Homo-oligomer: A and B are copies of this chain.
């Protein structure tokens, strides 16, 4: 009995969950398995222990006295196990983190604010990598990827967490100096100057914006400048070179200082969704949480 029960302790883990919820279907959801699996495991466990643990009562499961005793015991035991595993696997907060994101985000948002983070958390070293691709986190030893776009979740490996943390509109922006030379009152006025676009704009492309604003004639436009990343595009625009499309969070400071303006206040039809991609089972999870919480607060404060 005892030997047989201790031969498959995983059943006890499922039991703790089902007993806590007093519901197989809730346990199934928590354990990410089917209700039928839970039902069969509990049947197996009751058989192994030759003891009834649940009283079936219509749509819920009351616990027998034995069930209650076993719940108490298993909870204590698993708490000990979890604590023990934590002690040997989870790193303390002090240490290093490797962050990967787009060149635009790292250059325009993260690097300017990193000193704030480092002042607040001097024991956490941040290493920043920029890339336009979705690299393999494990291969590149990346602890956290900050990614943008509409398909991040679908393109993220199922073993990783993909945590949405907000979204921003995208607008056409140009320098204030340029508005002093030319009038921009409606969308079609943008066709009077250069339009800076990305090599791979994805769904944040100029044609979508023009269609969204019912602007005719953009197909015949000749003054296109194509660049590799948004920070390069913004660099060109800051030097009076026409318009580019940019997410508002990236240019908050330049909008405040007046360097950049949004003459046409019509957002792109597609918003930029932001995600953290990380492994929740990483030993660095404690440190990761510190960083992501700080970033989320900074993002909220400046938006």
Interface residues of A (CB under 8 A from B): 1-10, 12-13, 49-51, 66, 69-70, 72-74, 76-78, 80-90, 279-283, 285
Contact = CB atoms under 8 A, between A and B. Distances in A.
Given A6-B78, A70-B88, A50 B83 contact: no
Contact of A77 (B3, B4, B78, B282): B78
Given A9-B13, A10-B10, A2 B77 contact: no
B1 A82 contact: no
A178 B73 CA distance: 68
A19 to B, nearest CB: 12
A198 to B, nearest CB: 37
Contacts of A281: 1-4
A36 to B, nearest CB: 18
A58 to B, nearest CB: 25
Nearest to A8: B10
Nearest to A84: B73
Given A8-B10, A10-B9, A283-B50, A2 B84 contact: no
B83 A73 contact: yes
Nearest to A80: B77
Q: Binding site of A, secondary structure by majority: helix, strand, loop or mixed?
A: helix
A6 B2 contact: no
A122 to B, nearest CB: 26
Contacts of A9: 9-10, 12-13, 81
A89 B51 contact: yes
B51 A73 contact: no
Contact of A89 (B1, B10, B89): B1
Contacts of A80: 73, 76-77, 80
A189 B178 CA distance: 134
Nearest to A68: B88
A73 B80 CA distance: 6
List of 3 A-B pairs having minimum Cβ-Cβ separation, nearest first: A73-B84, A1-B281, A66-B88
Q: Which of A9, A83, A282 has the most CB of B within 10 A?
A: A9
